[in-house]
């Protein structure tokens, strides 16, 4: 079963895969760890998350994508975060 941190990183990976080249992405996330891993090069001791991070860095470089991270309040009043949390719960219960 995937952790919330892994799912946050996978969501960012999917965004960067889908983004056109030479794009500026504004990533809104409630994950301090995702921001730390991707913007501040925090150490990552989870091999599966390190692989995701490496993929994000590689794709970002090849596609010339810049990323800006916006920390939002988790489980708060951010409409997008509420919708994503509901979808994650729905997906979990379908399995």
pLDDT tens digit sequence for 16-27? 999 999 999 999
Kindly report the pTM of this predicted structure. Answer: 0.80
Q: Is residue 89 part of a domain?
A: no
Q: Is residue 44 part of a domain?
A: yes
Q: Which residue range is the domain that position 65 belongs to? A: 4-72
Helices (H), the chain: 4-18, 32-39, 47-63, 79-94
Total number of domains constituting the chain:
1
Residue 45 backbone dihedrals phi, psi, to 5 degrees: -100, 5
At residue 29, the 3 state secondary structure works out as: strand
CA dist 8 and 13 (Å) reads 9
Q: Is residue 59 part of a domain?
A: yes
pLDDT tens digit sequence for 25-63? 999 888 899 999 999 999 999 999 999 999 999 999 999
More confident residue, 87 or 11: 11
Q: Does the structure show a pLDDT above 80 at 64?
A: yes
Q: Is residue 84 part of a domain?
A: no
Residue 2 backbone dihedrals phi, psi, to 5 degrees: -75, 150
Q: Is residue 14 part of a domain?
A: yes
């Amino acid at each position: 079963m995937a952790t919330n941190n892994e799912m946050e990183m996978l969501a960012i990976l999917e965004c960067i895969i889908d983004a056109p080249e030479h794009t500026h992405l504004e990533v809104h996330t409630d994950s301090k760890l995702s921001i730390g891993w991707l913007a501040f090069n925090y150490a990552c001791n989870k091999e599966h998350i390190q692989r995701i991070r490496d993929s994000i860095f590689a794709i970002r470089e090849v596609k010339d994508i810049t990323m800006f991270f916006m920390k939002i309040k988790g489980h708060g009043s951010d409409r997008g975060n509420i919708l994503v949390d509901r979808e994650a719960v729905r997906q979990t219960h379908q399995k």
